[in-house]
Structure formats: C-alpha cells, structure tokens
Structure 1
Amino acid sequence: MNIKNNYVIIKAKYIYSRREVSMERCDWANGSKIYIDYHDKEWGVAVHDDKVHFEFLLLESMQAGLSWITILKKRENFKLAFDNYDYKKISKYDEEKIEELLNNEGIIRYRKKIEATINNANKFIKIQDEFESFDKYIWSFTENKRIINHYEDTKEVPAKSKLSDEISKDLKRRKFKFLGSVTIYSYLQAVGIIDDHIDSCFRKGYI
C-alpha cells in the first residue's frame, strides 16, 4: 500500500469537501434564508398533489397586495390556522371560525380573503368532482407539459401571461375569488407548471 499517495488522495478529498461551491440562483432569492430555502427546494418544482395545490392557492390569494416573504414568514401560522390546508374542513368553516381567524395575529386578518378561502375550498372540491382531481384540471391547460421559459435576468420575467389570463378567467367563471391573472401566474410558477428560473440558475429545469 502506498501510504503517501493515499494521504494525498484523502487530503484532496478533504479540501474539496470544504471548498465553498458557488451556485448561481435567481437574484430575488438572495439575501434571505427563507427565500433561499423556498427557491432552492420548492419554487418551480412540479406539483401533482391536490393538497399542495390548494396550499399555494390559499397562500397566493392571501399574498395579493403584500410581499411574498410576508406570506412565507407566516406560512406555518397559516398551516395551523387553516387545519393543515385541509380544504374539506375549510369548506365548512362558519362565522365562529371566521371570527377566530380574524383574531389570529399570526395570519393575514382580512375578512374578504378569509371568506374567499372558504369559498375557494368549496369550488376546489367541485373541480375535483368534475375532473377527478384539481391536478388534472390545472395541468390540462398545458396538456400536462411544463412551460420552460428562458430569461437571462429576473427583470425579464412577466407578471402574467396569456395562460394565466385564461386560467384566471376560467376560475372566475367557476366563482373563485382573489385569483386574478397576476396571482395565478405566481401560482403557476410556484407549482412548476411554469419554470421561470433564469437560465444561469442552478435550479433551472428541475422537475
């Protein structure tokens, strides 16, 4: 056994393991651990779980007029307040529950948004009844394909698109609330139907 050569190999592995690997990501995610974790682990990853779809619809509708980081900071509070995003339970919330939520300092205490969430839970279930799952409904707009856009800078990323216009219009027809085109575009990015990671981002193209 060549102890010297083995030592060189081991030392090289040790140095490599300690080397700081620079990963480029979308610039909006830098500067905040909450944003970094969300960007690196969730944003743009394809979702096919109805419960997760509803979670993002709830969070995105709550975000309207606010910053996304405000919502992410309150995400666990929302989870607890809204029964772990159980849309079947949420669909049955009554006035007493609404008052309880309005007194919950850990969430967004805006009656119209809370009422919209209850309404949307009911409409969400109706879509499941019609399409077997919300997942089948939402992915049908792109024929189950991801839209991978190519941008060099996050400033190029649009706030909405023809697709988000179409989906928002259909949801409005189905009586959903607080889900305009801009909100829906953000939702589509979140659940991976649209991949808007910049081309140099290490997460680009992740399924």
Structure 2
Amino acid sequence: MNPCAFGTKDPTYIDYHDNLWGQPLYDSLQLFKLMALESQHAGLSWLTILKKKEAYEEAFYNFDPAKVAKMTEQDIDNLMNFPNIVHNRKKLEAIVNQAKGYFAIEKDYGSFSEFLWSYVNHQPYDMQYEKPSERITVDETATQLSKKLKNYGFKFLGPVTVFSFLEAAGLYNAHLKSCPSNPNNLK
C-alpha cells in the first residue's frame, strides 16, 4: 500500500491517486470541473464524491460552464431526484453560481486557469513532504484564494476545501517525495 494515497485500500481512490491526483491541470474547463466536484465534498469524504463523479458529470452537462450557468431553479428541483449525487440543494445551486463566477473570472483575468495558477506563480508549488504526518490541510494561499472566489460568488469552497483543490489539481505537489506518482519522479 502506498502511504501517499492516504492509507486507503479502495481501488477507485488508489487509481485516482496514482493517475490523476496532483498532476498539474492547466485546462480551464478541467479546473472548473474539479473545483465544482471539490465543492460537493465539503463535509463528506472525497471518495464519496469520486464514486459519484460520473453522475455529477451527467447531471451538470459534463461541467460545461456555459450550460451550467443557465440552469434554473426547476433544473435544481429536478436534480433533487437525480440518482447517485448528493441531494443538498445549496451545494447543487453552488455549482450554478460557480459557473457564473467562472465567466466573471475569465473576463477579469483572461482565463480561469491563468487566475488560479497566478496564486502559485504559474508553477506547481512543491510541498516537499517526506512522510504523511507532515501534511497540512490549509495555508495562507488557500485562504486568500477562497476569499477571492467568494467575491466571485463561489460557495462551499472554504480554505480547507480550496487547499484540497490546489493539491488535487497539481497547483501544489502534495505527493510524498518517494511516491511513484510524484510529478518530480515522472520526469
């Protein structure tokens, strides 16, 4: 068992860790999708949302922000009965708000990716973890980004959730140094 994968034995999570988690994402649409999913796991385990990822993709037009931003109260009503997603109305509405905020950020910064990557000087910040006990769950960058996102209407993205997003999207390299999936070991 790879200790970098948070000690889990679940094959879905291990596959996610080994192939996606922490690999730098630069595509604005993929970053939006991951952020929307991260917002759904506030108060829940990431594994819960990971196992529902395909249903969320179906429910939210594969996280196409143009389509999501046009979703109505009736669409949210319908999603309250949609199978295999978390039926928390405020969280579902948050994704619609995030899509609207996505376009405001694109207008102000040129791209959602540019906006996010500016928080780490446009290159992954290496956390330099050697053992799991060194991991932290929040820092000043995540706190500042969370506040900025809130100004754009993003919800369910407090500092801890934003920190988790920064790790998942590879803006932070939070793999253990010895992890085979550490981007520094893949070069």
TM-score for the superposition, normalised by structure 1: 0.85
Query: Match of 2:154, as an amino acid?
Result: F
For the pair 1:76 / 2:54, whether they are aligned, the reply is yes
1:139-165 deviations in Å (ceiling 9; x for gaps): 111210210111222232111111101
TM-score w.r.t. the length of structure 2 is 0.94
* Cross-structure match for 1:52: 30
Number of the residue aligned with 1:197: 175
Distance 1:190 1:129, change over 3 A: same
Structure 1, gaps ≥5 residues long:
1-22
- 1:60-115 per-position Cα deviation (integer Å, ceiling 9, x unaligned): 10000001110011001111111111111000101111111111131011010111
Give the alignment of 1:2-151 within 5 angstroms.
24=2, 26-28=4-6, 30-151=8-129
Asked whether the 8 Å contact 1:29–1:39 carries over to 2, the reply is no
List gaps (5 residues or longer) in structure 2: none
* SS at 1:26 equivalent: helix
Q: Answer yes or no: is the 8 Å Cα contact 1:139–1:193 preserved in 2.
A: yes
Max Rg structure: 1
Give how far 1:194 is off. Answer: 0.1
CA RMSD of aligned residues (A): 1.5
Kept in 1, the 8 Å contact 2:65–2:99? The answer is yes
User: What corresponds to 1:16 in structure 2?
Assistant: none
Residues 63 and 24 from structure 1, CA distance in 2 versus in 1: closer, same or farther, beyond 3 angstroms? closer
When structure 1 is superposed on structure 2, of 169-178 and 37-46 the one drifting more is: 169-178
Partner of 2:144: 166
Q: Is this contact kept in 1: 2:104–2:152, CA < 8 A? A: no
Match of 2:157 in 1: 179
- Distance in 2 separating the partners of 1:95 and 1:166: 31
Instruction: Give the deviation of 1:27 after TM superposition.
Output: 4.0
Would you identify which runs of 4 or more consecutive aligned residues in structure 1 move more than 2 Å? none
Superimposed CA distance per residue, residues 150-204 of structure 1 (whole angstroms, 9 cap, x where no aligned partner)? 1222232111111101111111222221110000000000110001111111112
* Contact 2:5–2:14 (8 Å) recurs in 1: no
Task: Measure the CA separation in 2 of the matches of 1:81 and 1:24.
Answer: 33
State the distance in 2 between where 1:145 and 1:174 align: 24
Using the alignment, how far apart are the partners of 2:102 and 2:29 within structure 1? 10
